[in-house]
Amino acid sequence: MKAAGAGFPYTGGMPRQPTVLVVDDDPSIRQTMEAIVRSAGMKPLTAPSGEEGLAALRRNSVDILLLDVQLPGMGGLDVLRQVRETHPDVGVIMVSVVKEIPIAVEAIKLGALDYVTKDFSPGELSARVSKSLEQLRAARELAWLREEVAARGNKPMVVGSSAAIASVVAVADKVAPKPVTVLITGESGTGKEVLARYIHQRSDRALGPFVAVNLPAIPSELVESALFGHEKGSFTGATRQSYGKFELANGGTLFLDEIGELKLDLQAKLLRALQEREIERVGAARPIPIDVRVIAATNRQLERLIAQGRFREDLYWRLKVVPIELPPLRARREDIRDLAQHYLGRFAAAYGRPPQTLTGGAVAQLEHYGWPGNIRELENLVERLVVVCDAPVVDETDLPLEITVGAGLAQEAEREATYDSAMAAFEKGYLRKALARSGYNRRRAAEQLGIGYSTLKAKLKHYGVSKVAENEPDDD
């Protein structure tokens, strides 16, 4: 496994050996620092001048720079200024023969993490370097946490006990501990990101970041920068260095949603990142090693895109190490009750409402509806019900018209899929909904529908709808 990128001594995955670059013109000081760094379990690099130190930074992934203030040629502060411009992810510790307060203040203003004198003890220098590494890690974790808070959205875990979802979960449980790439397919709204989080949380990367990227939501001209990051000045508007999603996910899992939307040129760069386990920021002069597990998802037929020349076949096979297909909600109807009740509890807590339950009639309507938007549509519906329904029990009359009509059409289609039967199912559902809205007062319902009272009564009798208000006289 390759090392993580600069500034990533540990991010929740496998730890790596931090790299420390010593820049000092005194050979004995360089040798002393090199020995201390190595004995502390870190990898030392050395350079005798500022110019050679900058060249070493361009060639290597460095975490900490131990930089002499008094260097011949380019001075230490000048080197520091350039490092902050070109390698802001490297932590710099300034080193001097004597502690000069004005120089120390200037160095801290320029972005140095620490300032030490050359009378240090081995233990002191090792502790200073370790502290700086912790500062770098904390800064990177803060950036990841901001990403995570923005992306997580309190998404629930996989819910359901149907055979269809049980087989999916069984595969997910098997692949979770293994660092293989997973390709999740399924219709929009089936819970692909939820499954990806499920896999992440059951892997040895669970303590590392989970970074989700919705590729279609990113402007096409910014996708490369979003994924791989960019250096300051690499393009118009790049006023500072930016970490990409790969770096933010280092030591954890990167979820690439709707991978079929990625353009061909970026598909090639993604393939290289997966194969070589390294990336290049836009405008960078050196690659950055990464330790990231990739889970991709799509609702498109990638095989068809390959035939059309719109998706790389080599990338397809690199992503499809373990394929998992998520079934649509209509294929796991026995899970609808549990899912709906799960969302009822979740949104009741979120909005400070008392707990609610569903009647058998409401569940039957939900189970017969087609759910073209899958779980996402069900989640949105339940959130609406929690907001607008005050009763502790939600029945079928509380469901919106499109649900009851759609459920009626589905039930009718199961019996006889004809135009007449479909229209009758629509009319029956529409009349039931209108009657419920009127408080089961037929005269009021007829007025609201704009039809005659006798016409409404005849239709209700034809469809076997008999429920009326208790105080409505029966004048048949």
Q: Do 234 and 291 belong together in one domain?
A: yes
3-class DSSP assignment, residue 474: coil
Q: Do 345 and 438 belong together in one domain?
A: yes
Q: Which of 104, 137, 170 is the last residue of a domain?
A: 137
Distances (CA, A) of 285 to 86, 101, 248: 10, 35, 20
Domain hosting 115: range is: 19-137
Q: Do 263 and 367 belong together in one domain?
A: no
pLDDT value at position 308? 95
Question: Residue 417: pLDDT above 70?
Answer: no
Question: Residue 475: pLDDT above 60?
Answer: no
Tokens of 258: 């709707």
Q: Are 279 and 245 in contact (CB under 8 A)?
A: no
Taking residues 146-157, report their average pLDDT. Answer: 51
Tell me whether residue 10 is in a domain.
no
Q: Do 339 and 310 belong together in one domain?
A: no
Q: How confident is the model at residue 286 (pLDDT cuts 50, 70, 90)?
A: confident
CA 68 to chain centre: 42
Helix (H) or strand (E) holding 386, with range, is helix 374-388
Q: How confident is the model at residue 431 (pLDDT cuts 50, 70, 90)?
A: confident
Q: Do 284 and 403 belong together in one domain?
A: no
pLDDT value at position 98? 78
Q: Do 166 and 301 belong together in one domain?
A: yes
Question: 278-279 and 288-289: which strand pairing?
Answer: antiparallel
pLDDT value at position 239? 76
pLDDT value at position 406? 59
Taking residues 141-149, report their average pLDDT. Answer: 59
- Listed in order, strand segments (DSSP E) in 258-389 are 278-279, 288-289, 293-298, 322-325, 357-358
Q: Are 252 and 197 in contact (CB under 8 A)?
A: no
> N- to C-terminal Cα distance for the chain?
82
Q: Do 444 and 394 belong together in one domain?
A: yes
Taking residues 232-247, report their average pLDDT. Answer: 83
Work out the mean pLDDT of the chain and round it to a whole number.
85
Q: How confident is the model at residue 97 (pLDDT cuts 50, 70, 90)?
A: confident
Taking residues 68-77, report their average pLDDT. Answer: 91
Taking residues 324-331, report their average pLDDT. Answer: 95
Q: Do 415 and 278 belong together in one domain?
A: no
Per DSSP, 239 falls in state -
Q: How confident is the model at residue 458 (pLDDT cuts 50, 70, 90)?
A: confident
Helix (H) or strand (E) holding 168, with range, is helix 163-175
Q: Do 323 and 334 belong together in one domain?
A: no
- Domain containing 275 — which CATH number? 3.40.50.300
pLDDT value at position 200? 95
Return the half-sphere exposure (C-beta side, CA atoms, 13 A cut-off) of residue 19. Answer: 19
pLDDT value at position 467? 63
**344-381 confidence digits (pLDDT tens):** 998 998 899 888 999 888 898 899 888 999 999 999 99
Q: How confident is the model at residue 7 (pLDDT cuts 50, 70, 90)?
A: very low
pLDDT value at position 14? 37
Tell me whether residue 152 is in a domain.
no
Tell me the β-bridge partners of 357: 393
Tell me whether residue 227 is in a domain.
yes
Q: Do 107 and 31 belong together in one domain?
A: yes
Q: Tally the domains of the chain.
A: 3
Can you spell out the DSSP letters for 170-231?
A: HHHHHHTTS---EEEE--TTS-HHHHHHHHHHTSTTTTS-EEEEEGGGS-GGGHHHHHH-B-
Q: Do 202 and 132 belong together in one domain?
A: no
Q: Are 54 and 42 in contact (CB under 8 A)?
A: no
Question: Residue 150: pLDDT above 70?
Answer: no
Give the separation between CA 316 and CA 267, rounded to whole angstroms: 10
- Domain containing 98 — which CATH number? 3.40.50.2300
Q: How confident is the model at residue 10 (pLDDT cuts 50, 70, 90)?
A: very low
pLDDT value at position 391? 84
Question: Residue 118: pLDDT above 80?
Answer: yes
Q: Which of 327, 362, 392 is the last residue of a domain?
A: 327
Tell me whether residue 259 is in a domain.
yes
- Domain containing 344 — which CATH number? 1.10.8.60
- The size of the chain, in residues, is 476
Tell me whether residue 14 is in a domain.
no
Per DSSP, 354 falls in state P
Taking residues 133-157, report their average pLDDT. Answer: 62
Give the separation between CA 268 and CA 260, rounded to whole angstroms: 13
Taking residues 275-283, report their average pLDDT. Answer: 90
pLDDT value at position 164? 92
Asked which of 2-11, 190-199, 211-220, 281-290 is least confident by mean pLDDT, the reply is 2-11
Tell me whether residue 246 is in a domain.
yes
pLDDT value at position 438? 80
Question: Residue 173: pLDDT above 90?
Answer: yes
pLDDT value at position 188? 94
Give me the percent of the chain exceeding a pLDDT of 90. Answer: 48
Can you spell out the DSSP letters for 257-274?
A: ESGGGS-HHHHHHHHHHH
Tell me the β-bridge partners of 295: 182, 255
Q: Do 75 and 221 belong together in one domain?
A: no
Give the separation between CA 381 and CA 361, rounded to whole angstroms: 16
Q: What are phi and psi of 185, to 5 degrees?
A: -120, 160
Tell me the β-bridge partners of 279: 288
Tell me whether residue 343 is in a domain.
yes
Tell me whether residue 219 is in a domain.
yes
Give the separation between CA 202 and CA 293, rounded to whole angstroms: 13
Q: Which of 304, 327, 350 is the last residue of a domain?
A: 327
In a 10 Å sphere around its CB, with 0-12 CB exposed, 13-18 middle and 19+ buried, how is residue 106 labelled?
middle
